[in-house]
Amino acid sequence: MSEVGKPHNLGASPRGAVGATPSHPRRGVTPKTAPVTRTSAQHKPVQKHKPLPQHKPTQRRAHSEGASEAKVQTNQKISSWLRHHRLMASDSFSRVVKAPFASLMTWAVLAIALALPASLYIFLNNAQLVTSNWDGTAQMSLFLKLEMSEKRSEQLADDLRQRSDIASVQYVSRAQALSEFKQFSGFGEALDYLDGNPLPSVLVVRPAAGKINQQEQLLQELQSLPEVDEAQLDLAWVKRLYYIMELAQRMVLALAVLLGIAVLLVVGNTIRLAIESRRDEIIIVKLVGGTNAFVRRPFLYTGIWYGLGGGLMAWGIINVSLIWLSGPVRALASVYSSSFELVGLGMADSLLLIISGTVLGWLGAWVAVGRHLGEIEPR
């Protein structure tokens, strides 16, 4: 206790010097630090009426308190600020953990609220993956000019097969087209009355997988070929699917916003109760000069812990469900002779989920603290 009289704030060297010099030149500068050093360290050997010298220096100390307060160095302030943050983080964490049942309930509610939109998002992602495979198989039908010979048509089909943006070309001759039409249209007999075959030969082109606008570009290119009478791309269903996806995405987003608000409210309510249960403490802290930030801090950390816990739990729920679903999905895919696998949360998505949980917890705490802390003032 003797050397805690902290001239160490002044640097390393003065300590020895102060001990050696009888006049204590630095005393006047920092009277605050003086008394302890004097009474217990320097004056101990002398043993002069101990209580008396204690008085005067303390008197000076008391008076200079306000002034020296203002001189607290900035880095010292920052380090004490950081220290309080660490302290409050661990203190609020231990409070959360000390009430395991209540905390688990809160975490579970938050986890469900977070997992719902997240799992819908995963579902959409997977649906998009599946349909993007379909996009690649969108067909184009090239109706060739009637006067085209069979040989030239096949020649054209071969030419098109060379292109990199075309996956496959199937040639349907006029005769084939007619027999197919007879078979499927139900007008079979009526067609017999026609003089000749009215149907053109067709090239069924499967473009290589690509975006819708790339396919449309390819379509226009093919349309302009001299041999081609008309080129058709059945985009309608692709577009329909695209719009359904967009709609679903927006619905997931809206749901996420709603459930995000629910998270805010749940955390806000939990924090409100925490504030209420620590009312006395808040009053006392305010009485002895705690700033609003100081009072707020433990509650904000509590919100963060709730949010983080909820986010982690949501992540766990989602991953367990994915494992649970992966078997049936694989079985289903194998029926369609596809090797499709469920895609879960990637690294970025997982981080996003957990971070948004944490941020929502923090925000919810802010809402509660802003609303309720102002009401608690010492009276």
Partner 1 sequence: MIRFDNVSKRYENGYEALGQLNLSIAEGEMCFLTGHSGAGKSTLLKLIMRMETASQGQVFIKGQNLSRMSNSQVPYLRRNIGVVFQNHQLLFDRSVFDNVALPLLIEGADPIDIGRRVRAALDKVGLLKKEKLNPITLSGGEQQRVGIARAVVNKPPLLLADEPTGNLDPQLSSEIMHLFEEFNEVGVTVVIASHDLSLIARMGHRVITLSDGHLVNDGSTL
Residues at the site binding partner 1, with contacts judged by CB under 8 A: 1, 4, 6, 32, 36, 54-56, 58-63, 65-66, 69, 72, 76-77, 80-81, 83-84, 87, 280-281, 283-292, 294, 377-379
Q: Which is nearer to partner 1, 292 or 338 (CB)?
A: 292
CB of 47 to partner 1, least distance (A): 19
Which residues have a Cβ under 8 Å from the Cβ of 74 and sit 6 or more positions away? none
The DSSP-derived string for 187-245 is -HHHHHTSSS--PPPEEEEEEPS--HHHHHHHHHHHHTSTTEEEEEE--HHHHHHHHHH
Q: Which is nearer to partner 1, 56 or 250 (CB)?
A: 56
Q: Collapsing DSSP states into helix, strand and coil, what is residue 169? A: strand
The DSSP-derived string for 110-155 is HHHHHHHHHHHHHHHHHHHHHHHHHHHT--EEEEEPTT--HHHHHH
Phi-psi region of 24 (alpha: psi -120 to 50; beta: other; left: phi over 0): left
Q: Which is nearer to partner 1, 57 or 357 (CB)?
A: 57
User: Which one, of 272, 292, 271, 270, lies nearest residue 282 by Cα?
Assistant: 292
CB of 2 to partner 1, least distance (A): 10
Q: Which is nearer to partner 1, 8 or 211 (CB)?
A: 8
CB of 308 to partner 1, least distance (A): 24
How many CB atoms are closer than 10 A to CB 14?
A: 15
- The phi and psi torsions of 49 (rounded to 5 degrees) equal -10, 95
Q: Which is nearer to partner 1, 247 or 284 (CB)?
A: 284
CB of 31 to partner 1, least distance (A): 11
Q: Which is nearer to partner 1, 36 or 271 (CB)?
A: 36
CB of 292 to partner 1, least distance (A): 8
State how far the alpha carbon of 213 is from the alpha carbons of 38, 86, 135, 203, 233, in Å.
86, 54, 12, 21, 12
CB of 301 to partner 1, least distance (A): 15
CB of 213 to partner 1, least distance (A): 58
CA distance 191 to 161: 33
Which tokens belong to 29? 């500068």
User: Max CA-CA distance within the chain?
Assistant: 136
Q: Which is nearer to partner 1, 58 or 128 (CB)?
A: 58
Q: Which is nearer to partner 1, 175 or 287 (CB)?
A: 287
CB of 327 to partner 1, least distance (A): 50
Q: For tokens 């719902």, name the residue.
A: 116
| Nearest-5° Cα angle at 16, 14 to 20 | 110
Q: Which is nearer to partner 1, 19 or 53 (CB)?
A: 53
User: 168 pairs with which residues across the strands?
Assistant: 206
